[in-house]
């Protein structure tokens, strides 16, 4: 049954061509996005009425390599991994191995949040719906920039030191770290590692033959797209994989890689549960659990853009999925963003349509406008401004936001001196992030994180303020360094904050609380 399903999908993909009027429209949208944003590589596919009706792959695994992207190319799907983690838990619920309202400590007795009552009350479902009370991206500096020296155990232990920003279950704030906990709950309930369970419960029965979870050998698997950054108007490979792709701590939150073929298989299963991915003639996931996964569990903010572009009335988070309405029809979707890799999976269940976008470059805007143009093709084609129209609207909104929240001008920066750091140099420690040093080096002052080697840089002075200028491109968001006044015999404290207040929330400098523990060596 599994082989027949995979073979049938492969045949559909081989015969998906640009012959229909819809295909011509899809081609136009994709080609416009590639040209407008100079994308290094992209793979796009559309499923309709249970069939793959369109695929488009273009560009290269690595710019200039001559190695072409195709429907078998592996991309990082990033946070689209979350729906797979949630579905794995749903499978275990179907099997009677856990319940959504079980306390987390039932499976992980050492699990702790900052407040004991939250530890006691945290249920399995709470790990998936971003309502923990933590700030957005709390603890993400233990995950990125990678590779680093943090382990999955470090991340889970660090949660107890992350102070909540909101009351438990009071509001939405996106997190990654609790999905790591969810993966470990699955492992405890399922009796195997998270990676083994994903292979056994998802990839094998659904015929997702190229998907990778955990460690794998790059060249043995082959056809692996590499991320790119835009630098000086060019696409430059960044964070390029070594011979061995490691089993990183954030696997359950965003570490899975899949091909377009795999993701279209995954899409088809969700849209056609009674026909696609059957196991012994039965749906891969029960109707009860499908409904549970797609219920609105946490209300999300409804943005001005969603109201204006989509005429949306609500926005919510399910288990690993975002839920909203677009032009009167239901949309179930998620995106994935991970250091030069962007993905999007969008389902319109009431129209029996879904599509996948995967890009191996800096493509936030490209993903947004291409997704929007494809959605509108099915929900309101008569009022679809296309890639160019949505790009113009997006850029206008970005200009308004830049005026409303300008980024501080630090162009006057100069290297800080030992005198600038008088009384402040030394080794500092944060309870969840560990040690950093702020010590003299080469006639200046260097910042270095012990467990995150890519977070190293030169301390600079801009006006009366201090900041860190990172040495490499992997630590992208620059931080201010601040030293609150202390009294008596209190230790010298250090705080950090994003120079760009709208910078990626995964640079959660604001969650750090450093105290100096010793002098520089």
pLDDT in tens, 405-453: 889 999 999 999 999 999 999 999 999 999 999 999 999 999 999 999 9
Q: Are residues 200 and 321 in the same domain?
A: yes
Determine the average pLDDT of the residues in 457-467: 97
Q: Is residue 474 part of a domain?
A: yes
Contacts of residue 325, Cβ cutoff 8 Å, sequence gap at least 6: 310, 311, 312, 313, 314, 331
pLDDT value at residue 5: 42
Q: Are residues 242 and 362 in the same domain?
A: yes
How many distinct structural domains can be found in the chain?
2
Q: 491 pLDDT band (50/70/90 cuts)? A: confident
Range of the structural domain that residue 229 is part of: 2-91+187-404
Contacts of residue 306, Cβ cutoff 8 Å, sequence gap at least 6: 312, 315, 324
Q: Is residue 156 part of a domain?
A: no
Residue 196: C-alpha distances to residues 108, 213, 337 (Å) = 18, 8, 24
Q: Are residues 372 and 482 in the same domain?
A: no
Place of tokens 């009677």: 96
Instruction: Tell me how far apart the alpha carbons of residues 241 and 258 are, in angstroms, rounded to a whole number.
Output: 15
Q: Is residue 132 part of a domain?
A: no
Q: Is residue 42 part of a domain?
A: yes
pLDDT value at residue 13: 43
Q: Are residues 274 and 334 in the same domain?
A: yes
Tokens read off for 346 = 């969008």
Instruction: Tell me how far apart the alpha carbons of residues 274 and 284 are, in angstroms, rounded to a whole number.
Output: 9
Determine the average pLDDT of the residues in 152-157: 98
DSSP string, 316-333: EE-SS-EEEEETTEEEEE
Q: 53 pLDDT band (50/70/90 cuts)? A: very high
Supply the CATH number for residue 372's domain.
3.40.710.10
User: Would the pLDDT of 498 be above 90?
Assistant: yes
Determine the average pLDDT of the residues in 252-277: 97
How crowded is residue 161: how many other Cβ atoms within 10 Å of its Cβ? 16
Domain termination residue (choose one: 404, 435, 458): 404
Place of tokens 């719906």: 129
pLDDT value at residue 474: 86
Task: Using a pLDDT cut of 70, give the percent of the chain over it.
Answer: 96
pLDDT value at residue 9: 45
pLDDT in tens, 169-192: 999 999 999 999 999 999 999 999
Determine the average pLDDT of the residues in 464-487: 92
pLDDT value at residue 12: 43
Q: Are residues 20 and 60 in the same domain?
A: yes
pLDDT value at residue 10: 45
pLDDT value at residue 36: 98
The residue among 291, 86, 101, 49 whose CA lies nearest residue 202 is 86
Q: Are residues 471 and 388 in the same domain?
A: no
Q: Are residues 440 and 352 in the same domain?
A: no
Q: Are residues 398 and 438 in the same domain?
A: no
User: Would the pLDDT of 139 be above 70?
Assistant: yes
Instruction: Tell me how far apart the alpha carbons of residues 73 and 235 are, in angstroms, rounded to a whole number.
Output: 19
Q: What's the residue count for the chain?
A: 521
Q: Is residue 75 part of a domain?
A: yes
Q: Is residue 111 part of a domain?
A: no
Q: Are residues 441 and 477 in the same domain?
A: yes
pLDDT value at residue 437: 98
State the angle between helix axes of 364-379 and 386-404 in degrees (0 to 180), rounded to the nearest 10.
130
User: Would the pLDDT of 18 be above 70?
Assistant: no
3-state secondary structure of 59: strand
Determine the average pLDDT of the residues in 125-133: 98
pLDDT value at residue 339: 86
User: Would the pLDDT of 6 be above 80?
Assistant: no
Mean predicted lDDT score pLDDT of the chain: 94
pLDDT value at residue 2: 40
Among 253-262, 315-324, 326-335, 471-480, the least confident range: 471-480
Domain termination residue (choose one: 348, 372, 404): 404
Instruction: Tell me how far apart the alpha carbons of residues 132 and 33 are, in angstroms, rounded to a whole number.
Output: 37
Q: Are residues 393 and 439 in the same domain?
A: no
pLDDT in tens, 358-386: 999 999 999 999 999 999 999 999 999 99
Q: Are residues 74 and 42 in the same domain?
A: yes
Which helix (H) or strand (E) covers residue 266, if one does?
helix 260-271
Place of tokens 């949208």: 29
Domain termination residue (choose one: 381, 404, 427): 404
Furthest CA-CA distance within the chain: 77
Q: Are residues 510 and 374 in the same domain?
A: no
Determine the average pLDDT of the residues in 79-108: 98
pLDDT value at residue 11: 40
Phi, psi for residue 234 in degrees, rounded to 5: -125, 155
User: Would the pLDDT of 8 be above 70?
Assistant: no
Tokens read off for 266 = 């995954």
Determine the average pLDDT of the residues in 29-42: 98
pLDDT value at residue 517: 97
Q: Is residue 125 part of a domain?
A: no
């Amino acid at each position: 049954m599994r082989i027949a399903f995979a073979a049938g999908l492969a045949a559909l993909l081989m015969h998906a061509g640009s012959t229909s009027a819809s295909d011509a429209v899809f081609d136009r949208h994709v080609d416009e996005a590639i040209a407008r944003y100079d994308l290094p590589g992209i793979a796009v596919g559309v499923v309709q009425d249970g069939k793959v009706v369109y695929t488009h792959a273009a560009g290269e695994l690595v710019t200039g390599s001559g190695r072409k992207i195709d429907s078998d190319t592996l991309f990082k799907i990033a946070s689209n991994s979350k729906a797979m983690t949630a579905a794995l838990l749903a499978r275990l619920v179907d099997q009677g191995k856990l319940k959504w309202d079980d306390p987390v400590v039932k499976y992980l007795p050492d699990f702790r949040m900052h407040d004991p009552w939250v530890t006691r009350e945290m249920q399995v479902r709470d790990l998936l719906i971003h309502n923990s009370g933590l700030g957005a991206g709390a603890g993400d500096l233990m995950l990125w920039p990678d590779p680093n020296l943090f382990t999955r155990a470090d991340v889970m232990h660090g949660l107890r030191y992350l102070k909540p920003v909101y009351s438990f279950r009071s509001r939405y704030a996106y997190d990654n770290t609790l999905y790591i906990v969810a993966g470990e709950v699955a492992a405890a309930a399922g009796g195997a590692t998270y990676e083994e369970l994903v292979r056994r419960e998802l990839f094998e029965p659904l015929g997702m033959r190229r998907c990778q979870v955990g460690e794998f050998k790059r060249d043995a698997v082959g056809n692996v797209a590499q991320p790119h950054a835009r630098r000086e108007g060019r696409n430059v490979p960044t964070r390029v994989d070594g011979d061995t792709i490691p089993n990183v701590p954030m696997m359950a939150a965003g570490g899975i890689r899949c091909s377009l073929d795999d993701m279209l298989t995954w899409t088809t299963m969700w849209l056609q549960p009674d026909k696609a991915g059957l196991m012994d003639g039965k749906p891969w996931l029960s109707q009860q659990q499908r409904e549970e996964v797609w219920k609105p569990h946490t209300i999300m903010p409804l943005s001005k853009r969603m109201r204006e572009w989509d005429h949306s009335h609500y926005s919510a988070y399910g288990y690993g999925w975002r839920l909203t309405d677009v032009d009167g029809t239901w949309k179930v979707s998620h995106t994935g963003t991970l250091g030069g890799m962007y993905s999007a999976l969008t389902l319109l269940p009431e129209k029996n349509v879904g599509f996948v976008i995967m890009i191996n470059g800096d493509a936030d805007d490209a993903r947004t406008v291409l997704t929007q143009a494809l959605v509108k093709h099915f929900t309101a084609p008569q009022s679809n401004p296309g890639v160019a129209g949505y790009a113009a609207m997006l850029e206008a909104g970005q200009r308004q936001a830049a005026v409303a929240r300008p980024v501080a001008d630090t162009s006057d920066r100069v290297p800080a001196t030992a005198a600038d750091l008088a009384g402040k140099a030394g080794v500092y420690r944060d309870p969840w992030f560990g040690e950093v040093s702020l010590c003299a080096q080469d006639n200046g002052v260097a910042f270095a994180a012990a467990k995150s080697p890519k977070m190293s840089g030169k301390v600079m002075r801009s006006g009366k303020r201090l900041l860190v200028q990172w040495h490499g491109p992997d630590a992208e968001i620059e931080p201010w360094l601040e030293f609150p006044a202390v009294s008596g015999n209190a230790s010298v404290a250090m705080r950090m904050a994003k120079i760009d207040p709208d910078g990626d929330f995964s640079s959660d400098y604001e969650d750090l609380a450093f105290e100096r523990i010793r002098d520089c060596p």
